[in-house]
Structure 1
Amino acid sequence: MNPRRKQRLIAVSGILVLLSGGVGAMLYALNENVDLFYTPSQLVDGLGEDKNKPVVGQRLRIGGMVVKGSVRRDEHSLKVSFDLVDTGPIVTVHYDGILPDLFREGQGIVAQGTLLDATTIEATEVLAKHDENYMPPEVAEAMKGIKHVPPKQTYPAGTSQ
């Protein structure tokens, strides 16, 4: 092989290595920022045909209806916790911050945060729908054809509702 061809081969190989390294780094960064969307039923029962459940510590988004009577506020801070439901299990969301003005019981919301255990989310952001007709596409698809029935849940004596 003559020196000129060898030099071209090295240059092309170097460019391909740099390009594949850049694409790999970009895919890794995107993978770290992916937040999968779940409904409370999907979170507890699993998602898809394989019934894949998120692992503790995973970042995710969850959408559902705020259960009436479930909002509990801390008197000394901005901490609030509430329950979410779609058609089945109830998931508890803990949030430390100011809730959106449109947040209320019986309304659809989307919370983004980290999974603490199988049915508890530590939210970093809570979003409420902005009018009566809007619902995030994922929530609308997950709740299509479902008529919301408030869950029957009893709270232990001495806890606020």
Structure 2
Amino acid sequence: MSSVKTTTGTAMADLTPRPPSGPEPITRRRSILIAGIVVVLIAIGGAIMTRSLRSAVDYYCTVDEIGHREGCELDRRLRVHGIVQPGIVHRGDKVIFDLALAGETVSVHYRGQLGGLFGECAPVVVHGQIDATTGVLQGDHLVINHSNEYVAEARGNSDQVCGDR
């Protein structure tokens, strides 16, 4: 530390500013970049959460409840339970079939993977949206109900709709 002599002869401390010795301060440009990255990460996380929760908010309806029960309107995504009726048609990557339950039927146009147990008289749940003009369920996900408990319960319904096998 150097000292400076005053006119009276006493020593005075050097008060000139020193360069900072710690980390460099964050510049405005860098802080905007960091904020932008955080916003993008939050947007990506929100999109992933929305996509993963989409199926969870689809209302579960049976074929006979469509248009009759609250939450089973034609203008929303639904999970529709029914029994696959005879007469399945395969057209390219689309499968066309009818679902029936309790005397009601809905036509399904499905695009996606079919499980090995899919077939006539199988109890299934189709995820999709019903076209209000045609009444056709445009399905994009299909679940085949095949647990032992459910088959015993559903067999009575399939016998009514599909007849004895």
TM class by shorter-chain length? 0.5 to 0.7
The structure with higher relative contact order (CA 8 Å, sep 6+) is 1
Contact (CA 8 Å) 1:102, 1:129: kept in 2 or not?
no
Contact (CA 8 Å) 1:113, 1:121: kept in 2 or not?
yes
Distance 1:146 1:87 in 2: 8
1:37 is aligned to: 60
5+ long unaligned stretches in structure 2: 1-49
Identity of aligned residues (%): 26
1:56 Cα deviation after fit: 3.5
Contact (CA 8 Å) 1:92, 1:119: kept in 2 or not?
yes
Is 1:129 aligned to residue 145 of structure 2?
Answer: yes
- Paired residue secondary structure (1:41): helix
Is 1:101 aligned to residue 128 of structure 2?
Answer: no
Distance 2:100 2:82 in 1: 5
Distance 1:82 1:57 in 2: 21
Instruction: Look up the equivalent residue of 1:101 and give its one-letter code.
Output: G
Is 1:64 aligned to residue 82 of structure 2?
Answer: yes
Contact (CA 8 Å) 1:93, 1:123: kept in 2 or not?
yes
> Residue 130 of structure 2 is aligned with which of 86, 109, 115?
115
Contact (CA 8 Å) 2:65, 2:72: kept in 1 or not?
no
Q: Which runs of 4+ in 1 moved over 6 A?
A: 29-32
Label 1:33 to 1:130 Cα distance change in 2 as closer, same or farther (>3 A): closer
Contact (CA 8 Å) 2:95, 2:111: kept in 1 or not?
yes
TM-score normalised by L of structure 1: 0.56
Contact (CA 8 Å) 2:63, 2:100: kept in 1 or not?
yes
Contact (CA 8 Å) 1:92, 1:120: kept in 2 or not?
yes
Instruction: Look up the equivalent residue of 1:150 and give its one-letter code.
Output: V
Contact (CA 8 Å) 1:66, 1:108: kept in 2 or not?
yes
Distance 2:59 2:155 in 1: 19
Contact (CA 8 Å) 2:83, 2:158: kept in 1 or not?
no
1:134 Cα deviation after fit: 4.3
- C-alpha offsets along residues 41-85 of structure 1, whole Å, 9 cap, x if unaligned? 1014x11xxxx3644331010001111x221111xx210011011
Is 1:89 aligned to residue 100 of structure 2?
Answer: no
| Aligned residues between the structures | 111
Pick the structure with greater CA Rg. 2
